[in-house]
Amino acid sequence: NNIDTKAPIKKLLKNIISISFLSEIFNLDNEVMRAVLKEKFDGDILQLNQSAFKLGIKEAKKQIQNNNIIQISKTKNANKKHPLLIDGNTGAAIGMLTAGCQVFSWYPITPSTSIAENLKKIKPYSKNTMSITQSEDELSAVSMVVGAGWAGARAATATSGPGLSLMSEALGYAYFAEVPLVVCDVQRMGPSTGLPTKTSQGDLSFATQLSHGDCQSIILFPSNPEECFKMNYQSFDIANYLQTPILILSDLDIGMNIQSCPEFSYPESKLETGKLSHIQKKELKNWQRYDDPDKDFIPIRSIPGSLHPYLTRGTGHNKKGDYSEDPKDFSKLLKRLHLKYKSCLKITPPPVVTKTKNSDKKCIQLIAYGSTDQIITEVTEKLKLQGYFAEYLKIQSYPLHTDIIKDFLKDNNKNCFIIEQNASGQMKNLITQVLPEYANQFTGITHYNGLPIDADSVTKKIMENLK
């Protein structure tokens, strides 16, 4: 009522009043807010918004003066430990650019779209040359990336669950033809269209065996924006080294929500090119694309323009890459691919284990991954109040490092709770498959209403299952 304008317009000013009210309470720089108003509006609309902004500040000061609300004071050195305010999709984009990504093809889908948008914004500040293409659909996007990876480029795409479903055949081809590329899946609620603006960890089971046949996936699980940066950077090196697609399973909670985190450290290691025939050509004799001369299950790759041409195919092939239906050729090929897949454990991020020093009998174990990791500290503190001490294992990649998980679980007297954001307990199922002898220890704690997982409900479910 303190603003002189028509009633319908007054309703539109509520947001500005609320923002200025909160701005004063949190002791923010109001000049920045005023500058944003001038950037967005002009004329009479600007004056109305400025009046609303002043009104919000005035009301906040009044409430603070009357001791109805406490004003937040700034802490000295508050930003030194976590100076960045950033979301996971921005972190992913910076990671891709830092990794020297040369080709990024995508189709818009919530909640992954801002990865492409951030790449476009940040690319002018980076030194690498990069092609960013909005394709007509996900099939086209991933096919462009497969082609770019085959040609020797560092190539990536970003999508969410429905898009990943469409990409599965092309990714199976890339696995079988041994083409390196990166896919960032920012998960949302499914199945089908599901809830595009709600978070989930429901793509895990599908992602582990993404295509038909004996296709096997290597997956990384970032749990915050800093890890989105690190893992997007690392994924290109792993893809090139192993000559295979790498999946990154983020989610809406990490991808689109701004968090404070430490400054990103520029990687010290050189970019991994993997085995390339034009680099090793002096040593090559009787080169064959799918041979294993080093006995490490990884062949020597050639790219267009080198002296080692071959025919790429998704059909059965021999060491040369020629079409073959010979049972020996096919069984040897599948066996080598499987052994190469298992060898990834040497270079993928292992689980992070936090053990308790307390020898109390009331000790339980927690396992989580991805954005679920962010509530574990609070869950642990809440369990302490109930008289329980928690040990924690954070999974960072798939296939699972079973030796580390087994060592974590070796005390059979402890309850182990596997916490995740899907309805079917997909990580619990995966761990049970590889470590069935510990199945009786496991209790799944699932959260699947689309809202970010919270410590209160998780602690409550744990206590209910302990009684």
CATH number, domain with residue 173: 3.40.50.970
Q: Are residues 201 and 228 in the same domain?
A: yes
The CA distance from 148 to 103, in Å, is 7
* pLDDT tens readout for residues 292-316: 999 999 999 999 988 888 989 999 9
CB 423 within 8 A of CB 391: no
Give the per-residue pLDDT at 195.
96
* pLDDT tens readout for residues 254-288: 999 999 999 998 888 889 999 988 776 556 778 99
Give the per-residue pLDDT at 189.
97
Query: Per-residue pLDDT averaged across 22-42, rounded?
Result: 88
Give the per-residue pLDDT at 29.
84
Among the three residues 197, 231, 261, which one is the final residue of a domain in this structure?
Answer: 261
pLDDT confidence tier of residue 356, bands split at 50, 70 and 90: confident
Q: Does pLDDT of 82 surpass 70? A: no
Average per-residue pLDDT for the chain:
92
pLDDT confidence tier of residue 186, bands split at 50, 70 and 90: very high
Please name the amino acid found at residue 349.
P
* pLDDT tens readout for residues 431-448: 999 999 999 999 999 999
- Work out the number of other CB atoms within 10 angstroms of the CB of residue 14: 11
Beta strands in 109-188 (DSSP E): 131-134, 155-159, 181-187
Q: Are residues 95 and 195 in the same domain?
A: yes
CB 355 within 8 A of CB 391: yes
Name the nearest CA neighbour of 385 among 330, 433, 456, 314.
456
b/e 296-311 (16+ beta carbons within 10 angstroms → b) = ebbbbbbeeeeebebe
Among the three residues 261, 284, 314, which one is the final residue of a domain in this structure?
Answer: 261
Give the per-residue pLDDT at 118.
97
Q: Are residues 60 and 110 in the same domain?
A: no
Give the per-residue pLDDT at 45.
85
Q: Does pLDDT of 44 surpass 90? A: no
The CA distance from 178 to 312, in Å, is 9
Q: Does pLDDT of 202 surpass 80? A: yes
In the chain, the percentage of residues whose pLDDT exceeds 70 is 94
Give the per-residue pLDDT at 79.
58
Give the per-residue pLDDT at 203.
98
pTM to 2 decimal places? 0.88
Give the per-residue pLDDT at 277.
84
Give the per-residue pLDDT at 128.
82
The tally of domains found in the chain comes to 3
Q: Does pLDDT of 150 surpass 90? A: yes
Among the three residues 261, 281, 316, which one is the final residue of a domain in this structure?
Answer: 261
* Higher per-residue pLDDT: 461 or 4: 461
Query: Per-residue pLDDT averaged across 27-37, rounded?
Result: 86
Give the per-residue pLDDT at 4.
54
* pLDDT tens readout for residues 359-408: 556 899 999 999 999 999 999 999 999 999 999 999 999 999 999 999 99
Name the nearest CA neighbour of 394 among 352, 423, 357.
352
Give the per-residue pLDDT at 80.
65
Query: Per-residue pLDDT averaged across 201-207, rounded?
Result: 98
DSSP letter, residue 123: G
Residue 100 lies in a domain: yes
In sign, the C-alpha dihedral spanning 364, 368, 372, 377 is positive
Give the per-residue pLDDT at 49.
87
Please name the amino acid found at residue 13.
L
Tell me which residue has tokens 């596997």: 418
* Higher per-residue pLDDT: 109 or 280: 109
Q: Are residues 127 and 207 in the same domain?
A: yes
Q: Are residues 252 and 130 in the same domain?
A: yes
Q: Are residues 371 and 426 in the same domain?
A: yes
Lowest mean pLDDT among 68-82, 175-189, 198-212: 68-82
Domain that holds residue 12: 7-65
Question: Inter-axis angle of helices 161-177 and 138-150, to 10 degrees?
Answer: 30
Residue 104 lies in a domain: yes
Q: Are residues 202 and 96 in the same domain?
A: yes
Give the per-residue pLDDT at 432.
98
pLDDT confidence tier of residue 5, bands split at 50, 70 and 90: low
In sign, the C-alpha dihedral spanning 255, 256, 259, 261 is positive
Q: Are residues 96 and 241 in the same domain?
A: yes
Residue 343 lies in a domain: no
Query: Per-residue pLDDT averaged across 317-329, rounded?
Result: 96
Residue 420 lies in a domain: yes
Residue 267 lies in a domain: no
Query: Per-residue pLDDT averaged across 31-40, rounded?
Result: 88
* pLDDT tens readout for residues 325-342: 999 999 999 999 999 999
Residue 24 lies in a domain: yes
445: domain CATH number? 3.40.50.920
Residue 425 lies in a domain: yes
Q: Are residues 358 and 387 in the same domain?
A: yes
Query: Per-residue pLDDT averaged across 230-241, rounded?
Result: 98
Q: Are residues 142 and 227 in the same domain?
A: yes
Residue 121 lies in a domain: yes
Lowest mean pLDDT among 54-58, 72-76, 294-298, 451-455: 72-76
In the chain, the percentage of residues whose pLDDT exceeds 90 is 72
Give the per-residue pLDDT at 7.
54
Burial of 46 (0-12, 13-18, 19+ CB in 10 A): middle
Beta strands at 389-395 and 259-261: parallel, antiparallel or unpaired:
unpaired
Q: Are residues 123 and 60 in the same domain?
A: no
Q: Are residues 166 and 53 in the same domain?
A: no
SS3 state at 327: helix
Instruction: Name the β-bridge partners of 363.
Output: 389
Give the per-residue pLDDT at 86.
96
Q: Which residues contact 464 (CB under 8 A, 6 or more apart)?
A: none
